[in-house]
Amino acid sequence: MMAPSQAAGSAADPDGLEDRLRRFATIWSRAVFPVTATSLTRIEVEQHLLPLARQLSESLHGRTFDPQAVQRIGAALVDAHCTDPEALSRTLGVIDSYLVLYCGSGEIEQTAEESRARCARIQHALAAGFAQGLRERTLAEQEAIARSSLQARTDAVEALHATETRFRAVFEGAAIGIGIADLEGNILEVNGTLLRMFGGLENHVRGKRVSDWSHPEDRPHVWQLHQELVKGDREHFHVEKPFFRNDGTVLWTNLTVSLLRDPDGRPQYQLALMEDTTERRLLNLRLRYEATHDALTGLPNRTLFFERLEKALAAGEGSRFGLCYLDLDGFKAINDSLGHAVGDRLLVEVADRLQSCATAPGEMVARLGGDEFVALTTGPDTESQVDELASRILAALGSPIRVDGREFTVRGSIGIVEGPAGERTAAEVLRSADITMYRAKSAGGNRFELADPEADARAITRHGLTTALPAALERGEFFIEYQPLVHLGDGTVHGAEALVRWCHPQHGVLGPDQFIPLAEHTGLIVPLGRWVLQEAVRQARYWQERHSDGGPLRINVNLSPTQLHHPGLVADTIDVLERSGLEPGALCLEVTESALIGANEDLLKPLRQLAEMGVDIALDDFGTGYSNLANLRRLPVSVLKLDRSFTQGMQRHPADPVDLKIVEGIVTLAHSLELAVTVEGVETGAQAEQLRELGCDTAQGWYYARPGPPDQLHALSMADAV
């Protein structure tokens, strides 16, 4: 006999599949042969089971699972006279223990968990096919029994003995339980199979009345169907019915009861056929539990939670629900640093604490996956109950958790959705709770937030924009507007800042503040930034070629923090300049002051390289980042761009003297460091004049022009040349 380890080794060899199938068929035949009512030898039974083993192997490894194919295998067992329920039980045991072991490798790679899950589905389908095959055989036997019973009571004496003999053969040899009772319910006759189903004690079965076999879990209509049958209003009925055995255990059956009539058509007897489905029911319950509960924590899983939530949302008028969506703060760091084993034990402890928080009627806790949990409460007063539930959850998580001698303080962020039933779908409720949970996390965590429809709408819009960004770049939905940079000394157009826009199919033209942060978050800012640089540099070169005196017209392009960290920044910039033919001195890259606060030499190195090439680096939004002015000496910048907040006070007359002093001081400092000064947000002529008097070099703002198409800048530059 092959040892298990040897079998496992051969299971990895596809060339040995036939040998492994034969070994599986041998084990299978040895298990079922003792309970098989057949004249075949065990070897012949094994030969009959071999092709069925091949079909089981194919079902285990198929790309898609075909339950009907496996059901046919169950029916084939019945055809092979394996009709004893014990044969099914033994077959399921063999599949559970040996199918993956001997047939576990195939053309399609499967994890151990996937193989076990497929194996469980195979057991379920095979049991269903066995039951169907046995039921069809039973119905055929039932007809034979009914005919024999009537014939035995109406034929001549000479035929009675032969008929009775045949009846007894069918009656006693049947693989299912058979009982005959009169119309008053007195049990007259039972076969051996039925006796064994009820524990084998004949005195506890014979002499009883049908009504003695009622059970608390009987469906309400079962006894109504029985009354209709004994009155002659119904010929038969079929139900699933439990019975109590003598030892108090429960026997579950598929019960078929038929009416037997006398030769004149009057009701005379009732015939019951019972198929023992106890083991199959337990298997179904186990599979149902595994399908609806989390394997790690034992809590209801996403499937069962959605069933409960949909039921709560479908409740009648006046019903309400409250949902808490919990995500643990910082759990990923614990998992990554201490390992999944510690993380799993932590999740089990959290699950226990959450379960203790939701014990009232109408409350439940489930694990959706990872470190995400949900708590649901239902009833007429969930407005206050859901807040109390969230508070209990946060309080339960507040106590330290000990795992392997370490103490962990677990914090959580909770999003709450509460409202009347019937207004939203389960998916909409969960999406709102998820969005709200992230608002709680963004606010610092260890708190709960209530759902806000307006905030939900904004988040959904952001998600939609984020999803649409990659395709938008491919479809050419982005375009650039240019805002002139004007020399304050003579009022000529010095250059322009390139400002990207998104022409969204549904939302219209979107400004950079609406999608640049999303592009930063997704990493799309790198290809988008390169496209902006290419288009802006190409446009600047075109302007230079058309400018009347051929002088350099500068172009300013913004760089995001993500672009600063991208290793290809310098190479991409050089490539774009060389392809366009634009001199490096005609390009100015704008970097926000906040992006350079605390910057180390590794971050400044690419900017230094670009500056050494002749590209200007502008420090954008200067004065808003609380940076140390001494840092200006080490930054490779040549231009300071003053934020518009410094010039707002100049719109009044007289101008705010404090603003004037601040701007004057900054200009003096910048010029002492040989830095040019550009001012943003110039909206009036008075502002422009004051900035010129203070020594600012260039300005931009609505006073000169709003951002617009490239032709606008060319028209302005032509006007300056006249």
Strands 587-592 and 616-622: parallel
The answer, yes or no, to whether residue 677 has pLDDT greater than 90, is yes
Region 220-239: what's the mean pLDDT? 89
Nearest partner of 112 among 11, 210, 206, judged by Cα:
11
The structure tokens listed for 239 are 């139900």
- Tell me, what's the pLDDT at 548? 56
Highest mean pLDDT among 24-28, 86-90, 378-382: 24-28
- Tell me, what's the pLDDT at 288? 84
CA distance 241 to 218: 6
Confidence category of residue 721, pLDDT binned at 50, 70, 90: very low
Q: Cβ(628)–Cβ(621) under 8 Å?
A: no
Region 68-79: what's the mean pLDDT? 87
Phi, psi of 307 (to 5 degrees): -60, -45
Q: Cβ(218)–Cβ(241) under 8 Å?
A: yes
Confidence category of residue 700, pLDDT binned at 50, 70, 90: very high
Look up tokens 């990923």; give the residue.
332
- Tell me, what's the pLDDT at 599? 74
CA distance 165 to 530: 94
Confidence category of residue 108, pLDDT binned at 50, 70, 90: low
Judged by average pLDDT, the poorest of 317-331, 510-524, 689-703 is: 510-524
CA distance 90 to 547: 91
Q: Cβ(409)–Cβ(416) under 8 Å?
A: no
- Tell me, what's the pLDDT at 170? 61
- Tell me, what's the pLDDT at 341? 87
- Tell me the C-alpha to C-alpha distance, in Å, between residue 11 and each of 97, 132, 234, 361: 14, 33, 56, 51
Region 451-459: what's the mean pLDDT? 77
CA distance 96 to 77: 17
- Tell me, what's the pLDDT at 503? 92
Region 167-171: what's the mean pLDDT? 62
In whole numbers, what is the pLDDT of the chain averaged over residues? 84
Strands 267-276 and 363-369: unpaired
Region 568-574: what's the mean pLDDT? 94
The answer, yes or no, to whether residue 8 has pLDDT greater than 90, is no
Judged by average pLDDT, the poorest of 194-208, 214-228, 319-333, 505-519 is: 194-208
The answer, yes or no, to whether residue 157 has pLDDT greater than 50, is no
Q: Where are the beta strands (DSSP E) in 563-684?
A: 587-592, 616-622, 639-642, 676-679
Highest mean pLDDT among 197-206, 453-462, 562-571: 562-571
CA distance 34 to 477: 74
Dump pLDDT digits (tens) for 343-393: 899 999 999 999 999 888 889 999 999 999 999 999 888 888 999 999 999
The answer, yes or no, to whether residue 116 has pLDDT greater than 60, is yes
- Tell me, what's the pLDDT at 494? 86
- Is it true that the peptide bond before 654 is cis, omega within 30 degrees of 0? yes
Nearest partner of 74 among 63, 83, 65, judged by Cα:
83
The answer, yes or no, to whether residue 692 has pLDDT greater than 50, is yes
Q: Cβ(44)–Cβ(118) under 8 Å?
A: no
Region 466-471: what's the mean pLDDT? 84
- Tell me, what's the pLDDT at 429? 92
The amino acid sitting at 208 is K
